[in-house]
Amino acid sequence: MKSVEVYTQPRCGFCTAAIRLLAKKGVPVNEIDVSRGPNRRAEMMQRAKGRHTTPQIFIGDTHVGGCDDLFALQGTGKLDAMLRD
């Protein structure tokens, strides 16, 4: 299974939903809280090509996008293939 990184912030319902979906699939997630320093948000925005909302989700080196993007991949059946090695 590929590594998954999710940039989050406290009290973010979309972050919770994305993490919950990945957990249901048994995917270990490296959660990066952008509220723990300005460098974290800047890092997220650089990696996500300027997107500033949370969550921002990366599977391996691929930027998936936000929560809606993750659920869209799930809905089309493409998420499982992306998560495989």
CA distance 75 to 61: 22
**pTM of structure:** 0.95
Q: What is the pLDDT of residue 85?
A: 65
Domains in the chain: boundaries:
4-83
List the chain pLDDT tens, one digit each, 85 residues.
Answer: 899 999 999 999 999 999 999 999 999 999 999 999 889 999 999 999 999 999 999 999 999 999 999 999 999 999 999 999 6
User: How many Å separate Cα 23 from the centre of its chain?
Assistant: 12
**CATH class, 4-83 region:** alpha beta
Q: What is the pLDDT of residue 1?
A: 84
User: Cα separations (Å) of 70 from 35, 36, 80?
Assistant: 22, 24, 11
Q: What is the pLDDT of residue 37?
A: 86
Sheet holding 29-33, edge to edge: 29-33, 4-8, 56-59, 62-65
Question: Omega before 10 cis (within 30°)?
Answer: no
